[in-house]
Amino acid sequence: MNVTFNARHHILSVLVENKAGVLTRVAALFSRRAFNIVSLAVSPTEDERFSRMTIVVDADASPLEQIVKQLNKLIPVIKISEIAHDEGVEREMMLFTVKAVADTRSQVTELSSIFDAKIIDVGYEAMTIMLVGEPDKLDAFTDLIRPFGIVEMQRTGRIAMPKLARQPIRLRAVKSIRG
Amino acid sequence: MKPTGKITGAQALIKSLEMEGTEVMFGLPGGAILPVYDPLIDSSIRHILVRHEQGAGHMASGYAHATGRPGVAMVTSGPAATNIVTPLADAYLDSVPMVVVTGQVPYAAIGTDAFQECDTVGITMPVTKHNWLVTDARDIPTIVREAFHVATTGRPGPVLIDFPKDIANQSMDWYWPDGVDMPGYKPNTKGHPKQVKDAARLVVQAKRPVIYAGGGILKARAAEALKAFAELTGIPVVTTLMARGAFPDQHELCLGMPGMHGNYTAITALQQSDLLIALGARFDDRVTGKVSAFAPDAKIIHVDIDPAEQGKVRRPDVPIVGDCKQVIEELIKATKAEHNKHPQADISEWRTTIHQWQIDFPLYYEQEDGGTLKPQFVIEKLREHTPDDCILASGVGQHQMWASQHWQFNHPYTWINSGGLGTMGYAVPAAIGAKVGRPDRMVWAVDGDGCFQMTAQELVTATAEKIPVKIAILNNAYLGMVRQWQELFYEERYSEVYLSPDLPDYVKWAEAMGCVGMRVDNADDVVTTIEKANEINDRPVVIDFRTDYREKVYPMVAAGTSNDDVILHPALNEKAR
């Protein structure tokens, strides 16, 4: 799977109540309304009452406005912010096991070090590598490492924060549509 | 409120329902909900014991439609919970406030495939506005308070509380919360003043305006405001299937129902308008026909309390998120202010055009002397021989469309039907619920023979509970609407639509359920039989009207086609250009 960034992909940062079943409600809503999720990451926040979901949606397949408005109707959803591609910092993590027999091991290692990837496990003829970065970088690394033979690969889905400083806050609170 | 001693979870649940003003609930007990049925004996709440859980749900819905108060239903776990999924989905699409309590297996047994266990919260998530699984008896008053708040505020809808058996047996310190604390739920009721002003400007400029009134008018108790606004501006009003009665049919500005089986004038007025003032309506496919061809020249003012309805189907020029009543009242003020600046555009030519359509393309049917009984004739006679404020419930299909077309609705909350989900079998239980809520009113249901067979057993409930509803079955021995489509669109290849006029024998069936059963097979006996039924007030009445199976619902806009292509009754066709 190669998830390349697409201009139609939008990142929604969704603050939700930290209660049982909230993820199910969000997932069920996407399926009920036939919206597509590209990736989804959930984590606790600094405030234990809330969790944050970072949802990447494909706005080509479903209208972003409807997705946001329908999400807003879910009672555990507190706030939805859309982070435009150039207005946030995004990171994603990837773990993958790649074939690395004696005569290719050094090439894999070299490629990893160029990308600042970390080798976290070494086997007899394979290595497991971790790479954290912008999704584009993960895509590029995947393309380059593929010829060596990817045995298994996992990506976390991206998480994002609005860019700080210098400029005024660009985090656009979509929930304020409600007035 | 201060704690006032220890009580069980079951007692807390009943007490909380009482605190919310519940006077009546519809339900059927079973294993997991048993503990809650015990304190019910000592409660002020009247419980109506249904014969099938689907009946409980639709009764609660009929009750809510008729009274404006949330309908309450309580059933057990597993199959009972799944049986009430249909009424939940029905109420969700029609925005009916309902609170449903389901029993659940003990909390520790959840996930073990215990007897009568199912994932009720998971199953009902997409068909409720919100639902709760109670995991601690101390949460009960808070959850019940939240449940009623969510069901009745904003865009109303059904909610569900799933109640594990062991929670019912836990003890808790009773309290009653002062309010709700729901950071993620704050519906906006007041329209944005600038938007309202923009809307008023369009209202006074429009030359061919139409008010497109939807069910939201009734939910917001905005019928009075709507009338005042229509009379202030002289703008004609169409009332959708969910809004029949929201504006009186006898009013000179009322154009009746638009949509797939609406009348020619209502459909065409929307289609040719230059301004649609959509009030609590959601541009349903049954109203718009082919969306891309719907009202092509119209600007849109869209008033709806649900922000997600704005732009869902048609992009509004002026979206206003708010409660219909509040927004219309503001719109009246803003329109008057606008009138002070410019006179309203002259719409008399538009009104004349509309009036001519009404003359040229009326609803049409022909009851021949001595001929087969026409279903429309039955409905017209029923209307003529019932009080003006009689409540009418219906099922889904041809009879529903004829009822909506031919009944004169002059009061809000007199029409109860399943619009969005199209739930066959809705009429009998909904009529029972309505009669429970409004015992002072006469309640009739117009039902089809197909629909009647789906939920008729609730007439046993009606007899046992002395709820004297009256059912008119328009028995054409067919699944009539499906037959109509097969006749028109499948070259008269009739597939699985024949039901038989006398299997079952509806009169005997009615009598077996403790009702009075009567049969009418000719036009001459219609009125006398209706009058006989109207005299009976100690038990339900069922009349088996044997109607013409060939009769079709006209006008019709075929699915997926443009509202420009109205199919009229064949006898009227020559007049249409």
pLDDT tens for each residue of B388-431: 999 999 999 999 999 999 999 999 999 999 999 999 999 999 99
Q: Does A6 touch chain B (CB under 8 A)?
A: no
Q: How far apart are CA B518 and CA B510, in angstroms?
A: 9
State pLDDT tens for residues B231-250: 999 999 999 999 999 999 99
| Chain A nearest C-alpha distance from B370 (Å) | 52
Q: Which DSSP state fits A62?
A: S
A73 touches B at CB < 8 Å: yes
Rounded to an integer, the average pLDDT of B187-197 is 96
In A, which residues are within 8 Å of B122 by CB distance? 24, 28
Q: How far apart are CA B43 and CA B18, in angstroms?
A: 8
Q: What is the DSSP letter of B215?
A: T
Nearest chain A alpha carbon to B308: A69
Beta strands in B87-219 (DSSP E): 98-104, 130-133, 158-164, 171-173, 209-213
Output the pLDDT for position B528: 98
Report, as an integer, the average pLDDT of B446-450. 98
Listed in order, strand segments (DSSP E) in B165-274 are 171-173, 209-213, 237-239, 254-256
- Smallest Cα distance from B132 to chain A, Å: 10
> In angstroms, what CA-CA distances link B268 with B350, B414, B427, B529?
12, 26, 30, 38
Buried/exposed code over B467-487 (b: 16+ C-beta within 10 A; e: otherwise): bbbbbbbbbbbbbbbbbbbbe
Nearest CA among B65, B63, B152 for reference residue B413: B65
A3: helix, strand or coil: coil
Smallest Cα distance from A55 to chain B, Å: 18
Test mutation, B161, B185, B326, chain A, max A CBs within 10 A: B185
Q: Tell me if B567 sits within 8 A of B419, measured CB to CB.
A: no
pLDDT value of residue A84: 78
Does residue B484 carry a catalytic annotation? no
User: Quick check: A178 and B126 CB within 8 A?
Assistant: no
Distance between the two ends of chain A, CA-based, in angstroms? 41
For B260, the 3-state DSSP assignment is coil
Q: Which H or E run contains A162?
A: strand A159-162
Between positions 30 and 69 of A, the ones with CB within 8 A of B are 32, 65-66, 69
pLDDT score at B62: 98
Would you state the structure tokens that stand for residue B550, as one six-digit string? 């060939």
pLDDT of residue A179: 32
Name residues 92-151 of chain B within 8 A of A (Cβ).
Answer: 121-122, 125-126, 129-130, 133, 135, 150
What pLDDT sits at residue A167? 52
Residues from chain B contacting residue A75 (CB–CB below 8 Å): 129-130, 150, 182, 184-185
Which pLDDT tens digit goes with each residue over B85-126? 999 999 999 999 999 999 999 999 999 999 999 999 999 999
Question: What integer pLDDT is reported at residue A168 of this predicted model?
Answer: 52
| H/E run at residue B394 | strand B391-394
Question: Using an 8 Å Cβ cutoff, are B493 and B487 in contact?
Answer: no
Residue B316 predicted with pLDDT over 50: yes
What is each CA distance from B359 to B38, B98, B364, B366, in whole angstroms? Answer: 62, 42, 11, 17
Residue B172 to chain A, least CA–CA distance (Å)? 22
Which pLDDT belongs to residue B572? 85
% of chain B surpassing 90 pLDDT: 98
Is B303 in a helix, a strand, or coil?
strand
pTM equals: 0.93
Amino acid letter, A47? D
Phi-psi region of B288 (alpha: psi -120 to 50; beta: other; left: phi over 0): alpha
pLDDT the model gives residue A60: 72
Query: Looking at B105-183, which runs of residues are DSSP E strands?
Result: 130-133, 158-164, 171-173
pLDDT tens-digit map of B320-369: 999 999 999 999 999 999 999 989 999 999 999 999 999 999 999 999 99
Active-site residue flag, B165? yes
Mind listing the pLDDT tens digit for each residue in A151-171? 999 998 888 888 886 655 555
pLDDT for position A63: 84
Q: Confidence class of residue B128 from pLDDT cuts 50, 70 and 90?
A: very high
Instruction: State which residue of chain A sits closest to B125, comparing Cα positions.
Output: A25
Residues of chain A with pLDDT under 50: 1-4, 172-179
Kindly tell me the number of DSSP H helices and DSSP E strands found in chain B: 23, 20
Contact B125 A69 (CB under 8 A): no
Q: Across-strand partners of B137?
A: none
For the ranges A99-108, B240-249, B376-385, B512-521, the lowest mean pLDDT is seen at A99-108
Using a CB-CB cut-off of 8 Å, the residues of chain A touching B186 are: 178
| B positions 148-207 inside 8 Å of A (CB) | 150, 182-186, 188, 192
Is residue B3 scored above 70 in pLDDT? no
Q: Is the pLDDT of residue B543 over 50?
A: yes
Nearest residue in B to A24, CA atom: B122
pLDDT at A178: 38
Nearest C-alpha of chain A: how many angstroms from B183? 6
